[in-house]
């Protein structure tokens, strides 16, 4: 074959390889992140490129390139089907396409990588805080707005609404969109859906915590663009969206699992070893190293491979994935699943990097421990004896959740019942700022509140009133306002039952009220009243808290601000007794103005507080104190 013939064949081959649409070319399966933005705080960008034997190619930026972008480094791993590119995107780079060529002899593979403009004000975005009330919902079980997407080609685990425990029921993004007006009217200002990213698992895929593609919304929920539109529409209605991020693990059907980048990409050298869930090992000064290793590297199950964030390329991948979703979707905040299970140095780096890029973004982590010291360990500003620090602004307040549930059903004594709830707040000394914690009555992992309270509507109202007036950011679980029930021990399926009215043909509809019984309507109205009232209550958002030791089944606390004539007061009184009581208000003289009266938020009734507060049996009063 002549040299000219060889050149012609080479040119033809290049033409074939370059002839694809913008993005990944033939021989390149994935480039992640799928695109990026100019004007980010950090000028560094790592691209993970996956393709057949791609490590054997020499990458370079095609000329003429996009001004301000350069290739700073190329890193290869054990698997020759991966290569990692380190790009530098100068601060004043303009949006555009970066042509990246991969050459091996005459063979050329090319990627046209997009750098987009950021949304105005993205870096210092509005985010959730004490003025918000968050609704936790499970998309698959919330509402089915598009039955046509219930099953998808190539996806196992078909829809089966009859299977309460494990089946997919068909809820989706369109369903959430259809309920946004209801959510806003109830008084919620933020929603936290459980993960919507692709979960191509063989079973139990509905919960979403075993992702198989962290850059893609599961098509049974909708598309990435559907998700972004939902976030924007929700925001226009006064409702922000928190994304549930999983840093610790992936699903066993993740595309990586067929072609792992490195022998240490997963915990225990890519080998299944179950975690013992020993949460205290993170902070325990006496913990064995083997136990600490197991907590961080152990797998939740064989279907949830544990990620090894000690691997620097994986650590950067996960950090960029979070940043990508915040910027792409316009998120209002982040909730981090199984926070402490990830490598602890990585968690410090991850939280610092996210807050560097988005300084005003709020993030709440899950540490499922009833020990305030264990929860506090992860918070920004916490001075730990071992010197460990993160930049996490908030954690879920599991200790208070557990105590509230127990206190309302326990017999009242010196250290149980309401006294237990009173004493729990003493543990706030463990936190840098307890007001930043997310307080909650329930979520998708624990039995429903109404069932735990023995289906007692009076106790339920006490729990709701306490949640919405104590310190912290309140979060409720979907269906709590409808007195939805579950077993009193953990049973995921029944705890995650379908939201009434979310499916065509439902006999009961939360929005219209059809099929709701009298107690459900009363509970729904009570939650709606308090949530909407709370929106404008700066006293509850940022006021100080003073409480008085419980006596004889009663508990009183105040939220307050200012002093003298300009002072503002909110009085919350709980009476668990099965008979009316008269509280001597002289006991509260240091905070309650002489001759004051108070108007109950729920009923509008005014109570004379000059000498006594007459409380009905089994009641809670949220009183706006008149000066």
Clarify whether 366 is annotated catalytic: yes
With tokens 């993030």, the residue in question is 363
The SS3 assignment for 436 reads helix
Which residues sit opposite 47 in a β-bridge?
85
Q: Is 423 in the active site?
A: no
Q: Residue 392: which of 322, 444, 291, 328 has the closest Cα?
A: 322
Q: Per-residue b/e over 436-473, b at no fewer than 16 CB within 10 Å?
A: bbbbbbbbbebbbbbbbbeeebbbbbbbbbbbbbbbbb
How far apart, in whole angstroms, are the C-alpha atoms of residue 243 and residue 194?
A: 8
Cβ neighbours, 10 Å, residue 198? 25
Closest CA to 235 of 182, 180, 196, 197: 180
H helix or E strand, kind and range, residue 525:
helix 518-534
Would strands 107-116 and 36-37 be described as parallel, antiparallel, or unpaired?
parallel
SS3 7: helix
Catalytic residue among 150, 366, 367, 481: 366
DSSP structure class, residue 249: B
Q: Which residues contact 416 (CB under 8 A, 6 or more apart)?
A: 407, 410
Sign of the dihedral through C-alpha 84, 110, 44, 338? negative
Catalytic residue among 337, 367, 397, 428: 337
Q: What is the 3-state secondary structure (H, E, C) of 13-78?
A: HHHHHCCCCCCCCCCCCEEECCCEECCCCCCEEEEEEECCCHHHCEEEECCCCCCCEEEEEEEECC
Residue 583: name the closest of 565, 571, 601 by CA: 571
How far is residue 535 from each of residues 18, 580, 625, measured CA to CA in Å?
A: 56, 31, 18
Residue 318 in contact with residue 354, Cβ under 8 Å?
no
Q: Distance (Å, rounded) from C-alpha 189 to C-alpha 517?
A: 26
Half-sphere exposure of 579 (CA within 13 A, CB side): 3
Is the Cβ–Cβ distance between 233 and 284 less than 8 Å? no
HSE-CB at 398 with a 13 A cutoff on CA atoms is: 17
Catalytic residues: 337, 366
């Amino acid at each position: 074959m002549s040299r000219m013939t060889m050149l012609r064949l080479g040119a033809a081959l290049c033409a074939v390889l370059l002839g694809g649409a913008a993005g990944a070319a033939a021989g390149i399966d994935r480039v992640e992140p799928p695109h990026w933005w100019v004007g980010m705080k950090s000028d560094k960008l790592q691209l993970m490129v996956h393709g057949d034997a791609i490590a054997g190619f020499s990458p370079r930026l095609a000329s003429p390139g996009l001004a301000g972008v350069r290739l700073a480094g190329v890193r290869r791993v054990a698997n020759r089907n991966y290569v990692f590119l380190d790009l530098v995107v100068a601060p004043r780079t303009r949006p555009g396409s970066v042509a990246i060529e991969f050459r091996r002899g005459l063979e050329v593979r090319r990627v046209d990588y997009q750098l987009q403009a950021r949304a105005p004000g993205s870096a210092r975005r509005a985010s959730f805080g004490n003025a918000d009330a968050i609704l936790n919902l499970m998309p698959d079980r919330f509402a089915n707005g598009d039955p046509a997407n219930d099953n998808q080609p190539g996806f196992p685990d078909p829809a089966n609404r009859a299977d309460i425990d494990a089946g997919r029921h068909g809820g989706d993004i369109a369903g959430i969109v259809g309920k946004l007006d209801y959510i806003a009217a109830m008084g919620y200002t933020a929603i936290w859906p459980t993960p919507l990213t692709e979960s191509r698992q063989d079973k139990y895929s509905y919960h979403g915590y075993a992702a198989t593609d962290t850059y893609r919304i599961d098509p049974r929920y909708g598309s990435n663009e559907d998700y972004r539109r939902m976030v924007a529409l929700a925001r226009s209605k006064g409702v922000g969206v928190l994304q549930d991020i999983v840093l610790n693990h992936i699903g066993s059907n993740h595309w990586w699992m067929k072609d792992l980048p490195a022998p240490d990409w997963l915990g225990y050298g890519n080998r299944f070893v179950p975690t013992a869930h020993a949460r205290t090992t993170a902070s325990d000064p006496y913990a064995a190293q083997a136990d600490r290793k197991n907590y961080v590297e152990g797998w939740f199950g064989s279907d949830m491979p544990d990620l090894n964030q000690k691997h620097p390329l994986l650590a950067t991948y996960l950090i960029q994935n979070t940043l990508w979703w915040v910027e792409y979707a316009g998120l209002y905040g982040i909730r981090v699943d199984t926070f402490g299970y990830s490598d602890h140095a990585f968690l410090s780096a991850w939280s610092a990097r996210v807050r560097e890029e988005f300084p005003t973004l709020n993030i709440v982590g899950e540490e499922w421990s009833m020990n305030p010291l264990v929860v506090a360990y992860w918070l920004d500003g916490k001075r730990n004896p071992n010197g460990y620090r993160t930049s996490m602004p908030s954690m879920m307040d599991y200790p208070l959740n557990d105590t509230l549930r127990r206190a309302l059903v326990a017999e009242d004594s010196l250290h149980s019942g309401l006294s237990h709830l009173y004493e729990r707040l003493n543990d706030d000394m463990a936190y840098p700022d307890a007001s930043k914690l997310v307080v909650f009555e329930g979520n998708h992992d624990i039995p429903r509140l109404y069932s735990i309270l023995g289906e007692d509507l009076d106790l339920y109202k006490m729990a709701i009133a306490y949640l919405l007036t104590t310190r912290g950011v309140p979060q409720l679980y979907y269906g709590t306002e409808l007195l939805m029930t579950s077993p009193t021990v953990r049973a995921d399926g029944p705890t995650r039952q379908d939201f009434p009215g979310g499916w065509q043909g439902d006999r009961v509809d939360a929005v219209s009220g059809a099929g709701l019984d009298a107690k459900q309507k009363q509970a729904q109205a009570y939650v709606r009243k308090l949530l909407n009232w709370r929106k404008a209550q700066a006293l509850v958002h940022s006021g100080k808290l003073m409480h008085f030791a419980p006596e004889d089944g009663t508990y009183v606390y105040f939220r307050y601000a200012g002093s003298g004539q300009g002072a503002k007061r909110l009085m919350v009184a709980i009476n668990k007794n099965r008979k009316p009581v008269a509280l001597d208000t002289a006991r509260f003289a240091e905070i309650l103005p002489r001759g004051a009266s108070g108007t109950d938020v729920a009923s509008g009734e005014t109570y004379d507080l000059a000498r006594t507060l007459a409380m009905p049996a089994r009641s809670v009063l949220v009183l706006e104190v008149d000066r």
